[in-house]
Structure 1
Amino acid sequence: MKTGSIAAIYARVSTKRQVQQGNGLNSQISSCREYCLQNSFEITEIFTDDSTGGSDDREGLKKLKIWIKKNRKSNIVIVVDAISRVARDVEIYQNIKRYATDHGATFGSPTFTFDDSPAGRFMETIHVGMGQFEREDNAARVKRCQKARLSDGYWCLAAPIGYRSAGKGKPIEPDALSGVVREALEGFASGRFKTAAAAKKFVESQPEFIETRKSPVLGNGRMEQMLKNPLYAGYIDYPRWDISFRKGKHKPIINYQTFQMIQERLEGNSRPRSGKETDEDFPLRGFVLCDDCGRPLTGGWSRSKSGKMYPYYRCFNKHCDRKNKSVNGNKLEANLRNILSRLQPHESVAKVMKIMLRDLWRQNQTAVLDRHRDLEKRLKDLQQKQEKLLDRIVETDSDTVASAYERRIVENQKKQVVCKEKLTQLGNDSLNFDQMFEHTLEILSRPCDIWENRGHMWRGAVLKVVFSKRLRYCHNSVLRTPET
């Protein structure tokens, strides 16, 4: 290196957090400035990076190479605080050093003496090799800690959309987007969203997503990853690190049965639910029958010449005389409200109904207990089967056979999860008979008021409680029961 050379300072830290906290870059640059001053180097550029030394895909390094090439006819020196700042990988370091040498550049450092002798090159390689060892050893140590956390049910990698980190040692927790994610996942499971692209479009259109995300769109394939991620159902599965399917410590956004429905839809083994279960805009879809053919009416929107959208019900039976003839949705629902407004049960009817419902309730409770016993037996059988599979893994000497047993164990664990979810669901039915009857009586006493002022689920309850059979629609704009 010659006095009077022009110099470029290169400084690097491993993470953006170090830049934000002010750790590293400033002290490196200050040390290099002092070194340049002592050696009478003219500093013309300063390049920085905030990424790992195990890669050469760094913006600052790319700009440094351009500067080297541009000034190759000058006496140029690259000043670094430590040799590990150039790279923590022997091969990458040698490539960078070769590029600089080929363009007439040399290296200088306040903490390391670059010497082109055999002994100097040997020491240079030793220093870079130590840096590579430290980087790889640190990565392995971090990975071991993360694997241990995952094994214990704590998701410690990047939190997926809908979750956020709750701090060191704590499970991830739902964030402001969790409600949007839940609606998207449940909507795909039920068939409200026919494709992953439709679910993706829904998420991107929500104000919470637009306000909290840096990018207004989900990346390619991101929605498919979300649909396949068991984290949202409260479970961890990370085969990349040999972490098998297990219960997580975090709060689920959807239940496991919904997750299973999503997987079945993705695999093409399940048909989505009918619109009557998913579309709040058409509460009578599937409940009202065409009087000519007896098939359920379906619902859809029609656009007027002015561009305004109107709800309509139609019969799509190709053999029906009323095929594709529209029924105004607002008028049909107004007809129903008129029927509901005239309904008022007599006190004696309520007493008889209570006796009948109590008998039905007892029958249902017996069925629930039988179902509970069946599920407990099923769970016990699955647990015993898993113990046998584990014993077989211990006994076998074949890696292929052991892998096959491990796959069967994972499937067995998933079946156990389903059983436990169903048992929990049965145990959460906290309504007693009197509470149930009060809800039913409330619906019967003022069905029209509940229809108009309660949500979609209550409207479905009104139809089931008030009418013993589905209604029929006559072409003269009249709703009637099958007997009238």
Structure 2
Amino acid sequence: MSGKAAIYARVSTVRQAEADLSIPDQIHQCEAWCKQKGHEVVEVFSEPGASALDDDRPVFQEMLYKAKRSDHPFDIVVVHSLSRFSRDSLHSEFYFRELRKAGVDLVSITQDFGHDETSALLRKMLNVFDEHQSRETAKHVHRAMLENARQGFWNGSKPPFGYDVVTSEVRGSREKKVLVVNEAEARVVREIFSLALGERGHPMGQKAIATHLNERGITRRGQRFSTGSIYDILTTTAYKGQHFFNRFDSRGGKARPPSEWIALAVPVIIEEAIFNAAQGLLKSRNPRYTPPRVVNGPTLLAGVARCGYCGAAMILNTGKNGAYRYYCCSRKAKEGRLSCRGIRIPMDRLDDMVIAEMMEQVLDPERLRSLLDAWLRSASERAEKEKKELTKLRQKHADAKAALTRLLQLVETGMMEAEDPALKERLLGLKLQRDECAAEISDLQRRMATGEPAVTPAKINRLAKLLKDKLTSGSPEFRQAYARLLIREVLVKDEEIRITGSRAILARAASGEPGQTPPAVLSFVREWRTGEDSNSRPPDS
């Protein structure tokens, strides 16, 4: 009996579709069968690169939608074999019945079972065999891809931004491919890391970087940058020379344990120390660790000012529709007066007092030289101290590397989950500690080799002038950044304001060469506040 027919043709991989290996032949044979049976072909549904184990295929779903329409555009769906329709036995039977309920028959031109009960049993058995064969084939293909990655070759997916895929060698009919640097894209990647780390000024966030690039017409392979694409680039390990294959299940997207990952060496675009520094900065901007007001706000003492009575953060409070701005104890503001006796002080007043105290007590060259006296000892005294310091740094560096190894061993043995947030945080902290120690060891070895003092009066004078200029005449963002560089904490009470900071950071900045910028990620080390009278001052009444 003749009728209207729709043809559905499918291949599993994009490579098959690009090679035009199967779909044209499927369509040709189905058309010939329809002509022989007297069916009119009204539509052809062609689906390249779609797995038959997945029912969420756009063209497949479109075909089902049209089959169930009230105007009945076709009476039968013709496929070359049932495996083209589906290789999942459950899906196959479900959609077969859906078509039947809509009055549409499913016909395989190579497997004509008829319509009796025995034919239905044979069809179901064949579906089970097709599913088994598909999953077995998938296992063999996956095993081959794992071995390909172990040998250092790229497995066919789109390369990360900054790389191209080229054929490295040919083995039989197989092309073995590797990643090479795309210099035009790599320049953009380097610029993104540079902007994120503040190498040209204040560190920029993901949104600011995306805006900066979009305004200049720079795209990611024709697409405008977004916060998501910037984050992807800043966290892609391939840029530091290591890509991981097999991190996720290709079907369900479920993360695999690191013990199943295959590390693949690729050309380096970003040095590992720079990459790790960017991860540390991303973590510091994460709202889970640092409030957004500290990262984004222009408030000078955001994140460092604390109540001297209860230790809670001093937050910004406004009055008269924003005309007046105050620092106040966050606990008192949230819980009421009975929770804390903390004070409320005008923002400009506290900012000016802290800056004035910094100018007088810290950034005066003589005072700064006194604070950094430990870094200005005689060459013989310093040499002995530096030898001991170098030994400690080397031990600290070795401890960090050993801790990293132990953590990875715990993951490999299954004693710790790879996706555990605590593991990620610990790994990042250890990597930053390792890199910081390596940088300090290199700097200390250079100083020991030259025999010159790391901190000189001339360098102190230059640092004092630089910091004074930035704190008094810089933009709000720069003033805030330099304040955070110098100040660890500002404790505010009725009778005194106590400021503490890091001598080590001051020494590191003072020992730098002209043109170097202060570190973007601060570490909490010993204070430069050396005595009770060094920088305490009661607020004016």
By the TM > 0.5 criterion, same fold?
A: yes
CA shift in 2, pair 1:88/1:171, >3 Å: same
Deviations 1:315-372 (A, max 9, x none): 999649xx9xxxxxxxxxxxxxxxxxxxxxxxxxxxxxxxxxxx99999999987766
Equivalent residue number for residue 210 of structure 2? 200
Distance, in Å, in 2 between the alignment partners of 1:105 and 1:406 is: 47
Equivalent of residue 242 in structure 1, options 248, 252, 257: 257
TM-score between both structures, scaled by the size of structure 2: 0.53
Q: Confirm or deny: 8 A CA contact 2:163 2:181 kept in the other structure.
A: yes
Distance, in Å, in 2 between the alignment partners of 1:207 and 1:417 is: 34
Question: Mapping of 1:22-421 within 5 angstroms?
Answer: 22-50=20-48, 51-70=50-69, 76-146=75-145, 156=155, 158-167=158-167, 172-175=179-182, 176-190=184-198, 192-209=202-219, 212-213=221-222, 215-218=223-226, 221-235=228-242, 238=247, 240-243=255-258, 249-254=265-270, 255-256=272-273, 257-267=276-286, 319=352, 373-382=391-400, 402-403=415-416, 411=426, 415=430, 419=434
Equivalent residue number for residue 19 of structure 2? 21
**What residue identity is the alignment partner of 1:232?**
Y
Q: Confirm or deny: 8 A CA contact 2:386 2:448 kept in the other structure.
A: no
Distance, in Å, in 2 between the alignment partners of 1:126 and 1:226 is: 48
**What residue identity is the alignment partner of 1:242?**
P
**What residue identity is the alignment partner of 1:41?**
H
Question: Mapping of 1:463-474 within 5 angstroms?
Answer: 470=465
Deviations 1:393-438 (A, max 9, x none): 99x9xx7xx2279979874697368536864896699999999x9x
Please report how far the alpha carbon of residue 101 of structure 1 lies from its aligned counterpart in structure 2 after TM superposition.
0.9
Q: Confirm or deny: 8 A CA contact 1:153 1:246 kept in the other structure.
A: no
Secondary structure in 2 aligned to 1:30?
A: helix
RMSD: 5.1
Gaps of 5+ in 2: 168-174, 249-254, 299-347, 357-376, 453-457, 470-541
**What residue identity is the alignment partner of 1:264?**
K
Deviations 1:90-117 (A, max 9, x none): 1221222112211222222331113222
Please report how far the alpha carbon of residue 48 of structure 1 lies from its aligned counterpart in structure 2 after TM superposition.
0.9
Distance, in Å, in 2 between the alignment partners of 1:129 and 1:434 is: 74
Distance, in Å, in 1 between the alignment partners of 2:381 and 2:153 is: 43
Distance, in Å, in 2 between the alignment partners of 1:375 and 1:194 is: 31
The number of residues matched between the two structures is 364
Q: Confirm or deny: 8 A CA contact 2:152 2:265 kept in the other structure.
A: yes
CA shift in 2, pair 1:373/1:153, >3 Å: farther
Secondary structure in 2 aligned to 1:470?
A: helix
TM-score between both structures, scaled by the size of structure 1: 0.58
Deviation larger for 153-162 or 120-129? 153-162
Please report how far the alpha carbon of residue 200 of structure 1 lies from its aligned counterpart in structure 2 after TM superposition.
2.6
Q: Confirm or deny: 8 A CA contact 1:234 1:247 kept in the other structure.
A: no
Question: Mapping of 1:438-457 within 5 angstroms?
Answer: none
CA shift in 2, pair 1:415/1:390, >3 Å: closer
Distance, in Å, in 2 between the alignment partners of 1:30 and 1:378 is: 70
Gaps of 5+ in 1: 276-314, 324-358, 438-462, 474-484
Equivalent residue number for residue 5 of structure 1? 3
Distance, in Å, in 2 between the alignment partners of 1:260 and 1:110 is: 57
Please report how far the alpha carbon of residue 217 of structure 1 lies from its aligned counterpart in structure 2 after TM superposition.
4.5
Please report how far the alpha carbon of residue 88 of structure 1 lies from its aligned counterpart in structure 2 after TM superposition.
1.4
CA shift in 2, pair 1:430/1:142, >3 Å: farther
Distance, in Å, in 1 between the alignment partners of 2:129 and 2:205 is: 51
Distance, in Å, in 1 between the alignment partners of 2:88 and 2:126 is: 10
Deviations 1:221-245 (A, max 9, x none): 4433444444433445648211269
Please report how far the alpha carbon of residue 164 of structure 1 lies from its aligned counterpart in structure 2 after TM superposition.
3.7
Distance, in Å, in 2 between the alignment partners of 1:422 and 1:16 is: 48
Deviations 1:59-107 (A, max 9, x none): 3223323442358668822211111111111122122211221122222
Q: Confirm or deny: 8 A CA contact 1:31 1:81 kept in the other structure.
A: yes
Distance, in Å, in 1 between the alignment partners of 2:31 and 2:17 is: 19
CA shift in 2, pair 1:391/1:430, >3 Å: closer
Please report how far the alpha carbon of residue 36 of structure 1 lies from its aligned counterpart in structure 2 after TM superposition.
1.4
Secondary structure in 2 aligned to 1:261?
A: helix
Q: Confirm or deny: 8 A CA contact 1:11 1:80 kept in the other structure.
A: yes
Q: Confirm or deny: 8 A CA contact 1:78 1:106 kept in the other structure.
A: yes
CA shift in 2, pair 1:17/1:35, >3 Å: same
Distance, in Å, in 1 between the alignment partners of 2:396 and 2:97 is: 67
**What residue identity is the alignment partner of 2:465?**
R
Please report how far the alpha carbon of residue 392 of structure 1 lies from its aligned counterpart in structure 2 after TM superposition.
8.4
Percent identity, aligned pairs only? 19
Distance, in Å, in 2 between the alignment partners of 1:201 and 1:120 is: 63
Distance, in Å, in 2 between the alignment partners of 1:148 and 1:414 is: 33
